[in-house]
Amino acid sequence: MIERSIVPNIRSHLGRGRVIVIYGPRRVGKTTIARQLLQEVPSSEQLYLNCDEMIT
């Protein structure tokens, strides 16, 4: 897997009680990056929202 240049920056903010939003155009790797980073955070500290299927 290719390490994206933004990952270390995001990683440095994990666990500080902040909300991290990853957004951008379709099919650029946002979900892949999010899943990769979620593996590094205890599940009790995770909240993952997928806004592709929002109910209106």
Would residue 1 count as lying in a domain? no
Per the structure, the complete domain to which residue 48 belongs is given by 7-53
Would residue 29 count as lying in a domain? yes
- Report the distance separating Cα 46 and Cα 3, nearest Å: 22
Q: Is 27 left (phi over 0), alpha (psi -120 to 50) or beta?
A: left
Number of separate domains in the chain: 1
Would residue 23 count as lying in a domain? yes
Q: What is the pLDDT of residues 2-17, one digit of tens each?
A: 667 888 998 888 877 7
Structure tokens at 33: 């990056």
The pLDDT score that the predictor gives to residue 25 is: 92
- Report the distance separating Cα 55 and Cα 11, nearest Å: 31
pLDDT per residue, tens digit, the chain (56 aa), is 666 788 899 888 887 778 888 889 999 989 999 999 889 888 888 888 877 766 66
